[in-house]
Chains A and B, each alone.
Chain A
Amino acid sequence: MSTAAQRFLQDAAIKSADLLHREVIRRGMDSYDAAHLKGRARIKDWEAARQRCREIKREAINHLDRYLLQFEEKVIARGGHVFWAANSEEACTYVKNLATRLGVRTVVKSKSMVTEEIRLSPALEKAGIKVWETDLGEFIVQLRDEPPYHIVTPAMHLNRSQIAQLFREKLDPAIDSDDPVDLMAVARRKLREAFFAAEMGISGANFLVADAGVVAISTNEGNGRLCTSVPPIHVVVTGIEKVIPRLEDLAVLWPVLATSGTGQGITTYSTLIGGPRRAGETDGPEEFHVVLVDNGRSALLADAEQREVLHCIRCGACLNICPVFRHVGGHTYGTTYPGPIGSVLTPHLNGIKEFKHLSFASSLCGACSSVCPVKIDLHHHLLQNRRNATEAGATKSSERAMFRIWRAAMGSPSLYALGGWTVRKSLRLLYALGLAETFLDPMRVWNRYRSSMPLPSESFRAKWRKNRAASSS
């Protein structure tokens, strides 16, 4: 079995050379870039907005216990239920048991990355419950039996003709248009049946508002609205870090999230839900449950350098701007959260040993940190993760041996000179024998995609001495 790191390298090589993929992503990112810049220009002081959002999240995270308890108390007082899940298994079991106990056969889901993280849908399907993803992008990747490609736009790697083909195969062979309007209409008709048949709606949450005791859910399509209005049971599955102190905080968080996510001034439906349907209300679920998922998050609080990773509002901006993401694509990461935030977070959630390679899937250019609306210092965290991996002994013994040799050579000029001479001579011999790019060539990875590097005739130090002598004479 190949390791996650080997799979990453293989998939990255394939995706970077996939011209159709490059074209689809380039077009998607171009239109995001334009919308994002326009959206940012509508906010008078963008830097102040980022700073404010950072402060809100910092206050929330620094008093996480207090705000979560405040939220919980309000929800319970209104007849809702709050379940604290230490890990994926506890969260899935809770939802599955609830569903079986209440006789649920069909579930409609709106977008939630936490449910992807805990693998909720497979757990429910195993119990014989049909799960419908209702966000158009999620619906598309569900039909393809694929994880979401991107945390905000799950199907951005597909073009309209691929989606039309998919719909013909899976939904209706008579579909003869690939116009996005018609494709949306097909999905709407299909999912309407699901909304009105389902006994349970599952949503995520963008924020948990402590003082008001409500969950805030942002959706454009309205699927999140239907999931939380029509079925008799509503379950929210979300991470403990989503809490914010005050309702008024949304006055800046909502616009900043929308601007960073899609370039909109505010998401079309910014919904607040605090409990089950109250007496006298026209409609709404009779049951309201919030599942607060820890799954490794609380351990990050003790990390003085990286606690701020919990500030993330999952806007996707760092994915969109990342040159690595743009080349290798979302699926290559092989993680629930791709891109810079995923590369930082995954080693914490799923183990540094298996996922340390992600810290190197970055040019450390810092573009991610420069766009992050809560000012997470993402690229420095990648650097810290590299160090952490080494300190945790997660490096290969061959790598450690190489660095020991390197250190010895760097500490001794004569040893360094000897090393340089040996490498120059042996490479020259190797290339003269026509063995370039074979497994004997230590430069083969470099040379594979480039014209081979010319070998210098003498060492840098020799050149330096000569130049100095020439200029001083």
Chain B
Amino acid sequence: MPQAQAEAQTKETPSENSSRDRILQQIRAGLRTVVPEPPALASDRVIFEPVANPLERFQQECVLNLMECALTADRAASARQLSQVLQSLPEGEIFVQDDPSLRQLIEVAAPGRPIRWSSQGAPAEASQATITLADALIAQTGSILVTAGCGGRGASVIAPCHIVYATVDQLVPDLTTALSRASRDGILDRNSFACVISGSSRTADIEKILVQGAHGPRRLVVILQRES
């Protein structure tokens, strides 16, 4: 692969892509045609109802998104919650993002479970669950924002159950806030991947009937801790 990769790199430099310049020329030629612009949207129009109480809204949206959200007081309560969730799952390996806070939690909550840490590589196909942190929680849509830094790409999609450990102070009111922060903090310059996840995987491709658990997790569990 490395050799092929090097080859690919030299082969597809823009200058050797002969259509590139032609397409750009055609675009520029086309844009010379002037299209009259209708008046812009009045700036006082409010598209989305502002989120007054992020925590309450997040919990409501979780219900609509068919995800589980357990509010806990502190780390000990979170550990108890996690251990309950794990006990409801079949035996077998779980995958955990290698982070000190999760290491502490797992020690208490999952003694004896075989564990694969994200530092050891991607989750196995047969993992029973994945446990990760989130970058932010979005109240408006009941979503969690994960990045490659949260245990990688497969960590939120390979296993039948994805458990997210988060704290209330990670909540942001809406998508606009989440995305402008992501922009400002250069999250996408530090991560090759980010995802706004709003529920467990699903399909309605057969007769428009909702089936939970398509190619990804059937369960998405958020353990949301008040104390940070």
| B-binding residues in A (CB < 8 A) | 24, 27-28, 31-32, 43-45, 48-49, 51-52, 55, 58, 62-65, 68-69, 72, 76, 78, 81-86, 90, 98, 101-103, 134-137, 140, 153-156, 158-160, 163, 180-181, 183-184, 188, 191-192, 195-196, 211-214, 220-223, 225-226, 228-230, 232, 240, 246-248, 250-252, 254-255, 262, 265-278, 281-284, 286-289, 292, 294, 298-304, 307-308
Contact = CB atoms under 8 A, between A and B. Distances in A.
A278 B26 contact: no
A248 B195 contact: no
Given A284-B192, A307-B33, A222 B157 contact: yes
Interface string B186-228: 0011111111111111111111110101111100000000000
A281 B211 contact: no
B134 interface: no
B217 A282 contact: no
B153 A65 contact: no
A137 B208 CA distance: 11
A213 B176 contact: no
Contacts of B215: 134, 188, 191-192, 195, 221-223, 225-226
23 contacts: A32-B208, A72-B14, A84-B23, A103-B4, A180-B209, A192-B215, A221-B202, A225-B215, A229-B153, A229-B158, A230-B158, A265-B61, A268-B197, A269-B201, A270-B195, A281-B193, A283-B121, A283-B154, A292-B23, A300-B30, A302-B32, A304-B33, A307-B30
Contacts of A247: 179-180, 182-183, 188
Contact of A83 (B17, B198, B211): B17
A62 B31 contact: yes
Interface residues of B, number: 89
Contact of B206 (A48, A180, A307): A180
Interface string B28-68: 11111111010011000111110000000000010011000
Residue in B37, B195, B202 with the greatest tally of chain A CB atoms within 10 Å: B195
Given A136-B203, A226-B215, A287 B8 contact: yes
Contact of B216 (A44, A163, A222, A274): A222
B17 A286 contact: no
Contacts of B7: 101
Interface string B53-93: 00000000100110000000000000000000000000000
B106 to A, nearest CB: 17
Given A135-B205, A268-B199, A281 B148 contact: yes
Nearest to B95: A282
A112 B195 CA distance: 19
B175 interface: yes
A86 B19 contact: yes
Nearest to B175: A251
A282 B151 CA distance: 6
A159 B47 contact: no
Given A274-B188, A282-B148, A269 B153 contact: no
B133 interface: no
